[in-house]
């Protein structure tokens, strides 16, 4: 459905996307992860044919976004990072107008709008103005709106940023249903749980490049260990104790408040720590998550 080779996006001398390759198959749910400024949104906008690419090649649905933008956009749905709803119009009118942009027949739009209102759980707000709706409702409406053309590919740029947990889980459920209907999902997020929930495959981007790709599980296997032991010593005592445990782990990370040991078997590591006479304030064993992979690959320092 989407194939990118050496794809680049430059703003002046700054390369926001610096040569990335990926291919996304039909019905797949594909994620772009990365810290702010990694180039995720630029990539999304190029796929959505809203932003011309500066180099490399890009094919969406077998077409070139530079030449056949309108034809491609007619088969895409976009959920942008910031809401772009018309706040002066009602919920239903937002759906209706958007359908008209796709030149859909009025009757068809009315039918679909009813179903989408149901899908987004907004049926009872249909005639309310959009302005005063909650963030979660606006987000659901934005997703419903992007589906009015029954797109083959749905592009979601940080769909759940700023939502409360209830709203996020409801959205995930809706996205999962779309996926099971065969819609190809392209998602950017910096929530690791979201990526693990929704994505079959994903790439991790950093500074405009892809630094890792694979399924969430494969990425954990490749870039982290099975388990992580978090040892918490008294304040400022982490560095003093790291020497005594460093040999127990494949990789050690010292944070201001704790030491992370990346190991295969957490429980036996903790036992060994205690056998060596060390007395951390707490010792927590947990499974490796995508977040460990993410932080390992993109670093812990704040990007902006």
Partner 1 sequence: MWVHAYTYSKVWKGSVTTTFLFPLLYLAAMGVGLGTLVDRHAHHVGGVAYVDFLAPGLLAGTIFQVAVNESTYPVMARIKWMRTYWAMLATPLDIDDVLIGHLGWSALRGGMVSGAFLLVMEGFGVIHSWWALAALPLAMAASVAFAAPTTAYAATTTSENGFALLYRFGVMPLFLFSATFFPLGQLPLWLRAVAQCTPLLHAVNLLRDCTLGTGSATQALVDVVYLTVFAAVGIALARRAFRKRMVL
Q: How far is the CB of 106 from partner 1 (least distance, A)?
A: 11
Interface pick for partner 1 out of 149, 225, 241, 269 (rule CB under 8 A): 149
Structure tokens at 242: 């790291």
Q: Is 228 a binder of partner 1 (CB under 8 A)?
A: no
User: DSSP 3-state assignment of 230?
Assistant: strand
Going 32 to 44 to 63 to 111, the CA torsion angle's sign is: positive
Q: Which stretch in 45-53, 108-116, 233-241, 257-265 sits in contact with partner 1 by CB under 8 A? A: 45-53
Contacts of 13 (CB under 8 A, 6+ apart): none
For residue 85, the minimal CB distance to partner 1 (Å) is 7
- Residue 135 lies near partner 1 (rule: CB under 8 A): no
Work out which of 52, 62, 135, 162 binds partner 1, going by CB under 8 A. 52
Instruction: Provide the angle, in degrees to the nearest 10, between the axes of the packed helices 165-180 and 135-146.
Output: 10
Phi and psi (nearest 5°) for 284? -115, 130
Please name every residue paired with 10 in a beta bridge, in sequence order, or none if there are none.
Answer: 15
> According to CB under 8 A, which residues from 87 to 116 bind partner 1?
87-90, 93, 97-98, 100-103
Q: Count of residues binding partner 1 (CB under 8 A)?
A: 33
Closer to partner 1 at the Cβ: 95 or 270?
95
> Are 87 and 129 within 8 A, CB to CB?
yes
User: Is-contact 36 304, C-beta < 8 A?
Assistant: yes
Give the burial class of 211: count Cβ atoms within 10 A of its Cβ; 0-12 exposed, 13-18 middle, 19 or more buried: middle
C-alpha angle with apex 181: 180 to 187, nearest 5 degrees?
70
Instruction: Note whether 197 and 180 are within 8 A (CB).
Output: no
- Rule CB under 8 A: is residue 208 a binding residue for partner 1? no
Question: Which residue's entry shows tokens 């291919």?
Answer: 23
Which of 12, 70, 165, 182 touches partner 1 by CB under 8 A? 70
Which x/- pattern, by CB under 8 A, does the window 4-33 give for partner 1?
A: -------x----------------------
Q: Which is nearer to partner 1, 26 or 100 (CB)?
A: 100
Shortest Cβ 37–partner 1 spacing (Å): 15
- Tell me if 283 contacts partner 1 by CB under 8 A: no
Min CB(87)–partner 1 separation in Å: 6
Mark the segment that binds partner 1 (CB under 8 A) among 46-54, 206-214, 217-225, 264-272. Answer: 46-54
Is the CB of residue 63 less than 8 Å from the CB of residue 1? no
d(Cα 54, Cα 57) in Å, to the nearest integer? 9
Chain residues in the site for partner 1 (CB under 8 A): 11, 45, 48, 50-52, 69-71, 73-74, 76, 78, 80, 82-90, 93, 97-98, 100-103, 145-146, 149
């Amino acid at each position: 459905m989407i194939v990118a080779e050496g794809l680049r996006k430059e703003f002046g001398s700054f390369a926001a996307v610096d040569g990335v390759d990926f291919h996304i198959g039909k019905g797949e749910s594909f994620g772009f992860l990365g810290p702010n400024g990694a180039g995720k949104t630029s990539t999304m906008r190029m796929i959505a044919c809203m932003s011309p690419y500066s180099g490399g090649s890009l094919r969406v649905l077998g077409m070139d976004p530079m030449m056949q933008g309108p034809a491609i956009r007619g088969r895409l749905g976009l959920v942008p990072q910031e809401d772009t709803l018309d706040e002066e119009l009602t919920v239903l009118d937002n759906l209706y107008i958007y359908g008209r942009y796709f030149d859909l027949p009025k009757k068809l739009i009315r039918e679909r709008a009813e179903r989408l209102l149901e899908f987004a759980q907004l049926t009872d707000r249909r005639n309310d103005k959009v302005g005063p709706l909650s963030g979660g409702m606006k987000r659901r409406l934005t997703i419903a709106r992007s589906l009015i053309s029954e797109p083959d590919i749905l592009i979601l740029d940080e769909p759940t940023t700023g939502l409360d947990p209830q709203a996020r889980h409801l959205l995930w459920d809706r996205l999962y249903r779309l996926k099971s209907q065969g819609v190809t999902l392209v998602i950017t997020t910096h929530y690791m749980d979201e990526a693990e929930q929704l994505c079959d495959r994903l790439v991790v981007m950093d500074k405009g490049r892809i630094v890792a790709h694979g399924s969430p599980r494969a990425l954990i296997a490749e870039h982290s260990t099975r388990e992580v032991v978090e040892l918490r010593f008294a304040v400022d005592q982490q560095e003093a104790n790291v020497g005594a445990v460093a040999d127990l782990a494949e990789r050690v990370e010292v944070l201001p408040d704790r030491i992370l040991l990346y190991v295969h078997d957490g429980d036996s590591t903790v036992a060994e720590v205690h056998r060596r006479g060390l007395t951390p304030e707490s010792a927590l064993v947990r499974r490796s998550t995508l977040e460990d992979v993410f932080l390992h690959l993109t670093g812990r320092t704040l990007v902006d």
